[in-house]
Amino acid sequence: MAYIFTLLFLISCVCLVVGLIRPRVFGRLFKGKATRKQIGIVFGMMIFVSFVLVGASPAPEGYEKKSSEPKVDPVISQESKTENSTTQNNPVEPNLPAPVANPDNTSITEPEVKPEPKEEQNQVKDLFQVTEVVDGDTIKVSLLGTLRLIGIDTPETKDPRKPVQCFGIEASNKAKELLSGKKVYLEYDPAQKQDKYGRTLAYVYREDGLFYNAEMIKQGYAHSYVRFPHPRLDEFNTYQQEARDSGRGFWATNTCNGDTTKAISVINTNSIPLLPISNEVNQGGFIKGSCASLKKLGLGNFREGDPNYTKSRDGDGDGLACEMN
């Protein structure tokens, strides 16, 4: 049936073309004058119907749909045949590690053991933002809060029980120079992660790799803290000896000569004669004037708690106003 419908489809196409060119040919078919519109409708319908019937007709017997790509049989070279026959006749034994002799003369093949990656290679370093430098050995970082740095001890500047110690301000300023606004990663002592005040104990590394704890000792701004043992104590002691031998920082003879327990030269305004200063200027122990005018009178280095200490006079916020060298 598919052949009949196909033939009908072709005849309809030819009639449509001829009728559109010369409609008079089909005058008798339409019993009068045939128009192109009539011819287009009739033969168009015949083309559509025959096309649908062709598609709906079953395929002829013996017809097989062939693949668009030709089937290619694999070609086996003579060399491959030779290798396959050789392999079948002489199977290849797998390469195994050499047997290890035991004391009882038996042989055991030990499997190859691959080394596991080191813990340092798998460790992801978490970065923390330094939010405040309290002093040379104490800082604050994001998420964790206050850190007490392991293994170093800097001269005091903020302890209310102690005076500002020799080179304390310099150590605090050095800490700000190295850490203010920086991102750091931390290393902990597995034996102790917090001190008795709840502060996290840590070695501090800057994002660029600078080991802050060690750097402060190397430059003579911090002592190696030997009161509590820690994993890097011997290393820090070596850095301290090098700084002392080189006269760096507070080890210099013209600074503290290594003795940072002594207080810096702080002038007590209560012991200064106030005769040159009028009563208008001196009110309740507070001396009016700028730091420059006070220094001309030999007054300065006012600590927090002193009547003459104000935040406006302490520009760097280190707890000491109108600093004098």
Q: What is the CATH number of the domain that holds 230?
A: 2.40.50.90
Q: Model pTM greater than 0.85? A: no
Domain hosting 280: range is 267-325
Given 12, 40, 56, the domain boundary residue is 56
Per-residue HEC secondary structure of 21-88 comes to HCHHHHCCCCCCCCCHHHHHHHHHHHHHHHHHHHHHCCCCCCCCCCCCCCCCCCCCCHHHHHHHHHHH
Does residue 173 lie in a domain region?
A: yes
Same-domain check for residues 246 and 271: no
Same-domain check for residues 236 and 281: no
Q: What's the pLDDT tens digit per position in 125-181? A: 899 999 999 999 999 999 999 999 999 999 998 877 788 899 999 999 999 999 999
Residue 206 appears among annotated catalytic residues? no
Q: Which of 199, 244, 248, 313 is flagged as catalytic? A: 199
Does residue 99 lie in a domain region?
A: no
Q: Which of 22, 28, 119, 156 is flagged as catalytic? A: 156
Does residue 259 lie in a domain region?
A: no
Same-domain check for residues 275 and 244: no
Same-domain check for residues 139 and 52: no
Residue numbers of the chain with a pLDDT score lower than 50 = 64, 66-68, 117-122, 266-281, 283
Q: Which of 148, 170, 232, 303 is flagged as catalytic? A: 148
Residue 36 appears among annotated catalytic residues? no
What is the tally of structural domains in the chain?
3
Does residue 70 lie in a domain region?
A: no
Average pLDDT, the chain: 78
Residue 199 appears among annotated catalytic residues? yes
Given 251, 275, 303, the domain boundary residue is 251
Same-domain check for residues 238 and 295: no
